[in-house]
Structure 1
């Protein structure tokens, strides 16, 4: 038996609600609480469910609360459904629907209550084999839940629609809806997850895919054990019995059916019991235990007659005819065979109606698909013309902007060349050259010829490297380090070893890693002149090159007087020169960023420990580039 989802929310804590009810004085709140308590009893005690729903109905009429009246009718209808009285179930659900339609409100709460009533009617009609009415109500409910984006209740509808498609032998669509219900409800609705898993298992069982069937049955059982739902659990035990019969494990099948019987009796679920007794009767007939088979067949037939279940009556009459035939009681065998023929004729009429409905649904589906294809064709033509017009506009804009970008690129390249020439000019400024030559001359005068020759060689090497670099936009990082090494050693001479320095490169940086030529020297010079030279003690400059993902990181750190202190002393020619060099370097980086369309970051930070100034740090992040060989 496939398991539908009942259209009521998960079970509340009944005791808590009863405690609140005892203290409540507001008549409308009392009615609402009685409806909530009725709702909470749906899985455990249908008698109490009906009792509190009837109390809510009386109070809602007394207080003229039409909304709570509709909810009360809904709960009463579901309680009758659980008892197997489908006629009274539909009467009360119809009353709920009429009230809600009369309210005609766009409030989400009222619309979703209507959807819940329609969904419950769909379940009842499905159990009565009135699949056309069941689908009509289910799709009306689904439309509301899709509009209110209520995935929890929509998942229940997917499951119930799957039940209907399975009932009319459309296993493909049934499995589609069950899987959709299973996936949608996995994290938000344990009850529907368990029901849909059980139904998926049944379809795989009918397809003789026993391992897949067992997998979904086990998932369903685990969920039912964690979330109480006796009716669903009873149906699952019935399904397990059919799996064990396929595996020829009859004792395991009987054990499952005994569990199902206990569960159904506890909630007085006659519909589920009818199936359970029929399954037991078939097992005992197979074991040639005619008395037990006869006992359970009669039980199943009695319930089928009470519930007006055509297929169940037909199966029971057929089984009774077989039993009496084996008992050699031809009179009763013939009697039940005639009853079987009568029920089969009724059942065939139902099946024909199902087939007609299936054909009608398929026709409607094909009609919808044809309309979709025609609409899609019209939309396609519309889109083709739209795309052509947009394409022409975009082409015109592209040509316009490409020309504009080309002009912008040429301008940026021109600016970059100018900045590179200015950088070269500043790199070889007369003040620096004069100081270097004066220091070398002093070595000569003081008979330090070896030192003079060594520093002269460094000076000439720095001049040569500077002239070489001026011809290139980028150089290798190793060449940059070599130039900085020469420059710092010369500045050490110039300032009489006022500072020490260190240059390091991390091992993961490739040899052909590129850096813009003549880029870092102004920042190093700034660290010397404005940072460490004004110190009373000896200074230190640390230069580090790192590679982090697709960026080259250049860090220049000094332990000098800091940014604020150096600003107060910027009055000399050297400072004016340095300020210009820093500004040109900054603009050069900005121009590179625009030209390459890659992010370049520059930050100059004063290092502090509370109020104590520790120095200055320059951090430059460049996109990782390589020199082409």
Structure 2
């Protein structure tokens, strides 16, 4: 039984030793693994979980697997970085000659002296520099004036215990009530103080060559250490880790009892320790001056931290939204129409298992399956409101809280209600206008057709009347009686001549009655036949003459048939009827595209002839019809009938009219 107890104890001891050995194993990261340099000056972890290494060749972001380095090429403007500090969604960076704020991929630069420490106290950032303390303002660094012993001395650390500020300088340790307006400045001790820790209302301070100091109520207790050239002290897993640039690390418990040493003789390959850091998974990181970084992974995690996730980049049509001037309303990004291609990149950090981080997302719907892909492209999105959500899960099955991004893709203007209603209204107005114009056009066309029909009907009526009035029945009766008388008297030559003239006249009238126009030479021939017969049959003697002064040949000029005959008949029957030496002159001439015609007689005058006329006189009716025919051919002022008066005596009548000049070519 006792032997069995020894065996059980032996196995338990072996297991515990194995676990401790595993937990004390350090993994080394150097240039070969992806670091830009083996000289590490500081190590921090940002709010997302990335580990950041400061070195003499810039800063490096590490997610447990991949390295991304920022140096002069990326806009850092310096390579030697002294201190780092996370600050919300940015990273504070101190260097040998400047101070930077990194936000996303952009750097804001402030001119400064060498930065030895960065302290965030009461939402304010204080910088310990090579000469005094500076406060970070919105767009500049403001030096703080305390006293010359602080203002002109390198500041190594600044801490706040809730009531007082503790300032470790290269020459002393100071206690100050207010850094901005100090009333109490108390020097606690003279020494080269390198770092400060506030623990259980105690100030634990490391000095370069005077060991570890514990200050309680301004009383100093010295903890002697074998470590020389102390760089700083950190509280790691309820232990104090004292590290040196030349003597490695000495570990003490909370009662300041020695636990162990970590140096090149037992664990590491160097004693040049520059910094120590413990991350949120309780892994311990050791930065060195010549061997890169050592990591002691926490194999005995009692707590599994909930992972954090954040958007690393959001692009709209391949451009990050930080570079695009989009509007936002109540936290919702307003995206113009057509910009409907979005890409999201997101990240969650598990330093110990970087390849076992899984993601899922949703867009206004259900979550997608878990996958290792930390980006998604959403193309050809329709207009509307969207909420993109993403969640992560680490190897220990812990899930992050989902994060959300809201955006709204605007509709094209032609799909908006106001535009559609406007288009419909305009379309209705346009349709109404077109319909109105169409109806108006139809009415105008119909009106024109009616007017045309009325004119045509009127012209047909006039033509019919003109045909009916072309030849005076009395004239025909007189001609036939004359032919009979010539036959009875045996005047055969005169009889044949008269019959020939009369037949030519009738044939001419019949031929032209079916035509709208005849040439002027035919019309003149018809007029000569008619006037010759009138001369032969008339009881009064008269002469006539026809004159033409035209720019064209008479055969080329067109004129409505029997348009002049009624005026000649009127002159013969009423104007020169009782004149012993009657005379009729007919003139044709053209002026400015008009054919002018004049019928002049030396009769009794138009007014006297009207008194002598009968109301149903054939010539009067023929004149009336002919006037209307002329008016329909041209304007109302194109015909005039006037008396010829000389020395207050009527010398005859002049008829003048004009019609548009028409030719047959």
Question: Which category describes the TM-score, using the shorter chain as reference length?
Answer: 0.3 to 0.5
| TM-score, length basis structure 2 | 0.34
| TM-score, length basis structure 1 | 0.36
Computing the radius of gyration from Cα coordinates, the structure with the larger value is 2
Give the structure with the larger helix fraction.
1
